[in-house]
């Protein structure tokens, strides 16, 4: 995996595709036979082998089972998916994946708690204007990446996560009522996890320091905490101790005026009832 060819490292997708091809050839199967036996489209499998597509993790799990390759394809997929992440997010994603404590303030529903259909809707643009024949596959890869990040919710040990949602995050629906109801239900399910605390910051809390951007505070098992601030078309990872402390104090003030986890769940349940026929 990751061979250096002509001074350049082979891409993760190429390494995964090559492995898929070798495993299929080892079994003596044609693409047509593989498609028939796995129920995956032949052209889709072809593009995976060519390194032109990045699948969802579940596809790699299915193919690992089919080939009897343990978790080889899943491990290669984990490396390949990093290439989908834009450079400015890579360091944050790496820290998020290993964090032991995570505090978030979000103006919208965070990726860690999104359903697949909601993520697809948001990434595609609510009106569909941002979806074109040329970027549909890119959107699907971004959806797969976003879903894969949610693995940390069930890892051992799972991180302790606190999410404070601005009220607008749970009041601003997508056009598809079913997708929105499922998303609200997903938030309620997440709130029941023993490692997740979910709070809603009501409009009545008034103005505060975190109104203009999302904030994530991360603690690793060892080392100092870091902050990640994200807004419209920008993201900044901050490790300066004084700045991180300032963000933590701002977070504490917001938490003090947010609804309690119990009140927040009741609030979301009422919204779910309103949008459910």
pLDDT in tens, 80-103: 876 665 555 778 888 999 999 999
Instruction: At 262, give phi and psi (nearest 5°).
Output: -65, -45
Ramachandran quadrant class, 105 (left: phi over 0; alpha: psi -120 to 50; beta: rest): beta
Residue 48 Cα distances to 16, 92, 118, 154, 164, angstroms: 8, 27, 25, 27, 38
Classify domain 4-83 by CATH number.
Answer: 1.10.260.40
Classify domain 87-275 by CATH number.
Answer: 3.30.870
Confidence of residue 256 (pLDDT cuts 50, 70, 90): very high
Tell me the percentage of the chain whose pLDDT exceeds 90. Answer: 70
Domain boundaries, the chain: 4-83, 87-275
Range in 6-15, 109-118, 221-230 the model is least confident about:
6-15
Q: What is the pLDDT of residues 66-81, one digit of tens each?
A: 999 999 999 999 888 7
The number of C-alpha atoms within 13 Å of 205 and in the hemisphere containing its C-beta is 22
Confidence of residue 246 (pLDDT cuts 50, 70, 90): very high
Predicted local confidence at residue 135, as pLDDT: 63
The rounded mean pLDDT for the chain is 89
CB 147 within 8 A of CB 56: yes
CB 20 within 8 A of CB 63: yes
Whether pLDDT at 8 is above 60:
no
- The predicted model gives 232-249 an average pLDDT of 90
Whether pLDDT at 171 is above 90:
yes
Q: What is the pLDDT of residues 102-113, one digit of tens each?
A: 999 999 999 999
CB 254 within 8 A of CB 105: yes
Predicted local confidence at residue 78, as pLDDT: 84
Whether pLDDT at 7 is above 80:
no
Give the rounded distance of the alpha carbon of 8 from its chain centre: 29
């Amino acid at each position: 995996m990751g061979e250096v060819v002509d001074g350049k490292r082979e891409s993760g997708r190429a390494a995964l595709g090559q492995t898929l091809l070798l495993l299929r050839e080892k079994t003596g199967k044609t693409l047509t036979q593989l498609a028939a036996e796995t129920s995956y489209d032949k052209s889709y499998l072809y593009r995976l082998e060519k390194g032109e597509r990045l699948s969802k993790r579940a596809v790699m799990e299915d193919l690992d089972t089919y080939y009897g390759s343990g978790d080889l394809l899943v491990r290669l997929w984990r490396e390949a998916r990093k290439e989908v992440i834009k450079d400015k997010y890579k360091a944050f994603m790496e820290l998020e994946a290993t964090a032991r404590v995570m505090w978030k303030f979000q103006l919208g529903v965070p990726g860690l708690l999104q359903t697949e259909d909601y993520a697809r809707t948001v990434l595609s643009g609510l009106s569909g204007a941002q979806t074109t024949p040329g970027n549909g596959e890119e959107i699907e890869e971004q959806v797969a990446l976003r879903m894969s990040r949610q693995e940390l919710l069930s890892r051992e040990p799972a991180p302790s996560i606190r999410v404070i949602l601005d009220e607008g995050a749970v009041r601003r629906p997508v056009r598809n009522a079913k997708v929105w109801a499922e998303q609200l239900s997903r938030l309620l399910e997440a709130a029941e996890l023993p490692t997740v605390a979910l709070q809603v910051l009501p409009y009545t809390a008034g103005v505060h320091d975190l109104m203009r951007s999302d904030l994530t505070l991360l603690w690793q098992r060892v080392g100092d905490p870091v902050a990640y601030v994200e807004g419209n078309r920008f993201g900044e990872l901050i490790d300066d101790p004084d700045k991180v402390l300032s963000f933590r104090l701002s977070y504490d003030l917001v938490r003090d005026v947010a609804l309690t986890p119990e009140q927040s769940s009741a609030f979301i349940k009422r919204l779910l009832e309103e949008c459910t026929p």
